[in-house]
Amino acid sequence: MGNNNHDLDWLEDLDRLAEEILSQQTTSACDQIHPIIQKWYLDTLDGDPPYARPSEMQALACLTTEIMSDMPEALFEVMSKHLDEDEVALWVHEILTLGRAFEQAVRKGDLDDL
């Protein structure tokens, strides 16, 4: 059985139809998606962070350092007026951890209602 790219051409019609319908809506897609994401976000904040091996934790710490060193100076100056460097690092680390949790939720199907 050969793998022919034309086998999925019918999906283009569905894609065009979906784009047409979405473009005619008066509300944004975020109005539909936001409640699902909000619930996931609040549940995630109330729970434990996703499991990470020690090597993953070290990699996250290194990535945090890299992001902070590449952060635009103007942004860092504004943040530094209100937070010390450790607080900025913790915030960046929390964003990365939340991103890991989001990816895991998508992979596990926890957000299939999107």
Mean pLDDT by 10 residues, the chain (114 residues): 56 73 65 82 91 94 94 90 92 94 92 78
Spatial contact of 60 and 52, defined as CB atoms under 8 Å apart: yes
pLDDT value of residue 19: 73
pLDDT value of residue 1: 46
pLDDT value of residue 36: 84
What distance in Å separates the CA atoms of residue 17 and residue 5, rounded to the nearest whole number? 20
- Three-state secondary-structure class, residue 4: coil
Spatial contact of 50 and 97, defined as CB atoms under 8 Å apart: yes
Is the pTM above the cut of 0.85? no
